[in-house]
Amino acid sequence: MRKRPEFESERERVQAGEIRFAIVGCGHIAGKHLEAIQQAEGAALAALCDPNLTRVSALAESWNVPAYAGMAEMLDREPDIDAVCICTPSGLHAELAIAAARAGKHLVIEKPLALCAEEAESIGEAAAAAGVKATVVHPNRYRPAIRHLKEALDRKMFGKLSHVNATVRWNRSQAYYDQAAWRGTVAMDGGVLMNQGIHSLDLLLWLFGPVAEVRSWVDTRIRNMEAEDTAIAALKFANGTLGVVEACTTVYEHNLEESLAVFGENGYVLIGGRTANWIKAWNCVKMPDEEIGRIMAEVEADPYGVPGHERIIADMVEAIRTGREPAVTLEEGARAVRLAWDIVRNGR
């Protein structure tokens, strides 16, 4: 790890961009946060926290930082922590985020922000009252293909849109759900929409605006779990655009595809692959062939770009340093939660 520079004052440290992060929850997703903190300029790892002492101690030793079983003790004993990454099961996000905010710590919260609208709103209220910055991890916004699509939509290149389509046709085996008692539960994990499909819902809201009407069907068709493993929804956006969402974890026996399709009066775009990183089709009468060719060549050469988690950590460093809001706001995270909840509630 990089050696931490020394500063004469806390203000000097923050202005210089030395923002110290702690990670709460050291399961699989914590690895992406560790890598992002290591790579992002101005970020440093200060501590790790997980009730599984064997796991957190081994990880902390490899990263040369202290380990804690509880967040309260960590924040009490490590006062130089600036921001906390919440990487626990989703059902714990609200409790931990609110406690960290009240302790004066900025927040990076894994998706979904919470498992219901009320908890999401409580996190927002706590962050606002404490005056801390907070963001939600929606890294798919930073995929090169998605960034190019966003730019084209902002330029109105496709004109009036007729409809859009988002699919998540993935596999999560029964063994995946059986590996931990909280997986697939309504209280701690949610189903395919809150867990896997939440990124697609965030993209739909970010790209096309708020949803005015939802009609849906959700069910637990194949997996032995409490929440849904399959969801189908028809959406009507506030601007009149129609949308379809299809999400499942029941595809046999590997992930098949994740896609986003956009259809307008001037053309269409299909972004797909096993993950929605590749441009499968781009046809737009308002864009020169040379521009379309350049976009497709850039994405083909580097479909992943800078990892989204790294972009989110770097954005939080800059937000804390300058006082601006993070690029992905709590309200945007809450909108995705509300849409997922509306689909489930209307579809049962």
Cα–Cα distance for residue pair 348/343, rounded to 1 Å = 9
The highest-level CATH class for domain 141-305+336-347 is: alpha beta
Tell me how far the alpha carbon of residue 236 is from its chain's centroid.
Answer: 23
Query: Which residue's structure tokens are 């994405």?
Result: 299
User: What is the reported pTM?
Assistant: 0.94
Q: Where, residue-wise, is CATH 3.30.360.10 in the chain? A: 141-305+336-347
Q: pLDDT by residue for the chain (348 residues), tens digit each?
A: 344 445 555 555 565 558 999 999 999 999 999 999 999 999 999 999 999 999 999 999 999 999 999 999 999 999 999 999 999 999 999 999 999 999 999 999 999 999 999 999 999 999 999 999 999 999 999 999 999 999 999 999 999 999 999 999 999 999 999 999 999 999 999 999 999 999 999 999 999 999 999 999 999 999 999 999 999 999 999 999 999 999 999 999 999 999 999 999 999 999 999 999 999 999 999 999 999 999 999 999 999 999 999 999 999 999 999 999 999 999 999 999 999 999 999 998
- To the question of domain 10-139+310-328 being in CATH 3.40.50.720, the answer is yes
First and final C-alpha spacing in the chain: 49
